[in-house]
């Protein structure tokens, strides 16, 4: 990948033209080790004396050299070479080895920390300004990454639209105040659904690998978390659980045969890109022999075209089934561990008060608390696997909120919960101030847009208008990107969540699941159509956050504009902004007394990273 950074000196600060790729993220070992692994000397394949020639072409050769090292680490070499170019061209005769040092440290020696030219260590010194910014996490200089209407990925490259950062004496559009909120960020992520992997199989291996890089790679969204369905979700290929065929209280027939076809390979492909993903799991339905009828969906969803005992119904309240179901969780966790997938948290039930026309089950508040306190909690004790109070979704007459409060009022059950998981209407309640016994709160499912019950409106509590329901395909458009911004922004700033999860990471362009009541064409971050991989504006919105905000970051306060800001553990500020109006060539962000100016696109987003 060809990537350019040009530094222009002012009286006190270099200006940066940055084309972002996630190879910029030194907080992940992939950024540096990629170039050095792809080629022992980073960009040295281009010209081993890159910067030392004191010639712009030396740096350029460093770029090409680094880029051939490795797509993720190579882009760091790329940056190193480019910086070597700048250093060399300004007289960097002592600037080191250009691209050669670019690999291991993302340009730490690639333009030369010992150069004596006028731009010296600023323009030429990769250690001061080079590729060590790795996603912005450790950048010593400000950088900006902008997009609009899905422009955060171009062609087969992952280069972002370039932006210019400089100093300003003007009035700040957005001011960041270093006042941390109490929540420590645990990560952005998405759900692994079978249909996603099915559609990825229609792509070339190159595009399939690219999709995994876009979602989990350093040169992509860098998702830190992943949700795993236990059995079929509404976006499985077929209805199933891991123990069907009749009452089996001994769990003798438990197996993950179906999981191994599409789900486990999908997760393992992600792990091949990012090895430290944090996984959590939840069932949409228990085994059907554990449920009783009526298997009738809620009236709000319409009438099913076919019926199934996987859909709706009620969890039974008897000791043998509850004991068996607790062991079902234990066996599931162990089976995935054997596949090198470590699950750290499980939720007893997805949306426990919704009876739907796809895999689902209703739990009473008393039974939910009883199962956690007397069965699931003791079965998982000592395993290191926590229990989520969730996923809570139905706020009608307080259903899921009442269930959560009943579980927290049970002294035995309460001690087993490590986190609360909320989505949809209950997340809206959390945004309005609802809490759950001091538990950290994860936003467990991003609203998927295109609501069949609403002719207009986003369903996210904002005043922004959204298109009418589309019965033929998911919109996956700019309007849903804007809606996604409001959902994420509100959950972080108002709800104080500590994690945020997308729903489908990959679907086709139509977006249908197993729902037999209504054709609900749902959105995804990446779509597959006509054997082509497409990037949606919603993906870009997630990437503006997830590529740069590190696990352990703290949300910090902002005023002015439409912005969310974090401070990473290494002290780097990450400011994500949305501009609903026309382009602004004098958009100013004030951080730690420094006013940074750049061009904000019309109807677009920007992420500024800055380490004082």
Q: Which domains does the chain have, with CATH numbers?
A: 1-141 (no CATH), 171-185+550-612 (2.60.40.1180), 186-546 (3.20.20.80)
Residue stretches of the chain with pLDDT short of 50: 1-139, 156, 460-461, 463
The continuous run of DSSP H or E covering 496 comes out as: none
Predicted pLDDT of residue 478:
93
Could you tell me which residues are beta bridge partners of residue 282?
Answer: 229
Could you give the CA distance from residue 11 to residue 202 in angstroms, rounded to a whole number?
Answer: 54
The continuous run of DSSP H or E covering 387 comes out as: strand 386-392
Predicted pLDDT of residue 536:
96
Beta sheet of 594-600, edge-to-edge order: 5-9, 14-18, 163-167, 594-600, 584-591, 174-184, 554-559, 563-567, 573-579, 604-610, 143-147
The secondary structure of 407-418 as a DSSP string is HHHSHHHHTTEE
Q: Residue 588's closest CA among 141, 272, 165?
A: 165
Predicted pLDDT of residue 456:
56
Report the DSSP pairing between strands 343-346 and 278-283. parallel
Q: Are 32 and 44 in contact (CB under 8 A)?
A: no
3-state SS assignment for residue 503: strand
The single-letter DSSP state of residue 154 is B
3-state SS assignment for residue 88: helix
**Residues 159, 161, 164, 165, Cα dihedral to 10°:** -70
Which tokens belong to 490? Answer: 């509100």
- Residue 512 backbone phi and psi in degrees, to 5: -90, 150
Predicted pLDDT of residue 139:
43
Could you give the CA distance from residue 448 to residue 525 in angstroms, rounded to a whole number?
Answer: 10
- Residue 63 backbone phi and psi in degrees, to 5: -60, -55
The total of other beta-carbon atoms located within 10 Å of residue 460's CB is: 23
Residue 292, judged by CB atoms within 10 A of its CB (0-12, 13-18, 19+), counts as exposed
Could you give the CA distance from residue 127 to residue 84 in angstroms, rounded to a whole number?
Answer: 11
Residues 6+ apart with CB under 8 A from 298: 312, 354, 355, 356
The secondary structure of 509-555 as a DSSP string is SS---S-SS-------SEEEETTEEEE-HHHHHHHHHHTTPPTT-EE
**Residues 324, 327, 328, 332, Cα dihedral to 10°:** -170
Could you give the CA distance from residue 13 to residue 10 in angstroms, rounded to a whole number?
Answer: 5
Q: Residue 164's closest CA among 152, 140, 146, 178?
A: 146
Q: Are 22 and 158 in contact (CB under 8 A)?
A: yes
- 422-425, long-range: CB < 8 A, 24+ apart: 422/390, 422/391, 422/392, 422/393, 422/495, 422/497, 423/351, 423/390, 423/391, 423/392, 423/393, 423/447, 424/393, 425/393, 425/394, 425/395, 425/396
Helix-then-strand count for the chain, H and E: 17, 24
Residues 6+ apart with CB under 8 A from 474: 448, 449, 450, 507, 509, 510, 511, 521, 522, 523, 524, 527
The single-letter DSSP state of residue 156 is T
Beta-carbon-side half-sphere exposure of residue 414 (alpha carbons within 13 Å): 10
This prediction has a pTM of 0.79
Which tokens belong to 237? Answer: 């290929």
The secondary structure of 248-282 as a DSSP string is -TT-TT---TTHHHHHHHHHHHHHHH-TT-EEEEE
Residues 6+ apart with CB under 8 A from 409: 369
Helix, strand, coil share (%) of the chain residues, nearest 5: 35, 25, 45
Predicted pLDDT of residue 462:
52
Q: Note the Cα 318 to chain centre separation in Å.
A: 39
Predicted pLDDT of residue 104:
30
Could you give the CA distance from residue 343 to residue 259 in angstroms, rounded to a whole number?
Answer: 15
Which tokens belong to 579? Answer: 């501009």
Q: Residue 178's closest CA among 578, 577, 566, 603?
A: 566
Could you give the CA distance from residue 500 to residue 190 in angstroms, rounded to a whole number?
Answer: 8
Q: Return the HEC string of 163-228.
A: EEEEECCCCCCEEEEEEEEEEECCEEEEECCHHHHHHHCCCCHHHHHHHHHHHHCCCCCCCCEEEE
């Amino acid at each position: 990948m060809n990537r350019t950074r040009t530094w222009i000196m002012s009286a006190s600060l270099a200006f940066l033209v940055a084309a972002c790729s996630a190879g910029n993220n030194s907080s992940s070992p992939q950024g540096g080790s990629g170039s050095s692994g792809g080629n022992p000397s980073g960009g040295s394949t281009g010209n081993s004396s890159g910067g030392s020639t004191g010639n712009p072409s030396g740096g350029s050769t460093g770029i090409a050299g680094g880029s051939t090292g490795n797509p993720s680490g190579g882009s760091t070499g790329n940056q190193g070479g480019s910086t070597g170019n700048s250093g060399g061209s300004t007289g960097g005769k002592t600037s080191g080895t250009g691209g050669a040092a670019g690999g291991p440290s993302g340009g730490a020696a690639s333009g030369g920390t010992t150069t004596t030219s006028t731009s010296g260590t600023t323009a030429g010194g990769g250690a001061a300004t080079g590729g060590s910014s790795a996603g912005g996490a450790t950048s010593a200089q400000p950088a900006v990454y902008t997009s609009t209407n899905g422009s955060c990925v171009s062609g087969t490259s992952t280069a972002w639209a370039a932006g210019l950062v400089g100093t300003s004496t003007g009035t700040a559009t957005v001011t960041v105040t270093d006042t941390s909120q109490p929540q420590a960020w645990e990560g952005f992520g998405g759900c692994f659904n079978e249909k996603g992997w099915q559609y990825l199989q229609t792509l070339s291996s190159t595009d399939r690998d690219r999709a995994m890089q876009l979602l989990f790679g350093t040169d992509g969204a860098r998702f830190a978390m992943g949700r795993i369905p236990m059995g079929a979700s509404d976006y499985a290929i077929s209805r199933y659980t891991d123990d069907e065929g009749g009452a089996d209280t001994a769990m003798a027939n438990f197996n993950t045969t179906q999981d191994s076809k599409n789900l486990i390979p999908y997760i393992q492909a992600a792990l091949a890109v990012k090895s430290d993903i944090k996984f959590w799991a939840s069932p949409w339905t228990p085994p059907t022999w554990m449920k009783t009828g009526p298997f009738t969906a809620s009236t709000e969803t319409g009438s099913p075209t076919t019926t199934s005992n996987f859909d709706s119904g009620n969890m039974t309240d008897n000791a043998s089934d509850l004991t068996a179901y607790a062991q079902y969780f234990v066996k599931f966790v162990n089976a995935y561990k054997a596949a090198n997938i470590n699950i750290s948290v499980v939720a007893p039930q997805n949306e426990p008060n919704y009876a739907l026309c796809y895999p689902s089950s209703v739990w009473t508040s008393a039974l939910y608390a009883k199962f956690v306190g007397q069965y699931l909690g003791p079965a998982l004790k000592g395993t290191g696997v926590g229990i989520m109070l969730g996923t809570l979704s139905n706020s009608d007459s307080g259903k899921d909120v009442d269930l959560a409060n009943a579980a927290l009022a049970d002294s035995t059950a309460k001690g087993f919960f490590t986190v609360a998981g909320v989505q949809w209407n209950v997340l809206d309640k959390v945004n309005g101030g609802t809490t759950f016994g001091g538990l950290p709160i994860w936003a467990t499912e991003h609203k998927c847009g295109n609501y069949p019950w609403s002719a207009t409106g986003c369903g996210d509590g904002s005043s922004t208008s959204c298109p009418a329901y589309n019965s033929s395909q998911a919109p996956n458009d700019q309007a849903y990107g804007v809606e996604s911004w409001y959902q994420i922004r509100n959950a972080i700033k108002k709800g104080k969540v500590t994690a945020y999860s997308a729903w489908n990471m990959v679907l086709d362009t139509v977006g249908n699941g197993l729902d037999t009541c209504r054709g609900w064409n749902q959105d995804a971050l990446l779509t597959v159509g006509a054997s082509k991989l497409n990037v949606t504006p919603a993906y870009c919105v997630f990437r503006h956050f997830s590529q740069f905000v590190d696990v352990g970051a703290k949300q910090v306060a902002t005023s002015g504009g439409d912005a969310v800001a974090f401070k990473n553990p290494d002290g780097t500020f990450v400011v994500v902004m949305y501009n609903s109006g026309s382009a602004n060539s004098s958009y100013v962000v004030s951080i730690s007394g420094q006013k940074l100016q750049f061009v904000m696109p019309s109807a677009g987003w920007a992420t500024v990273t800055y380490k004082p």
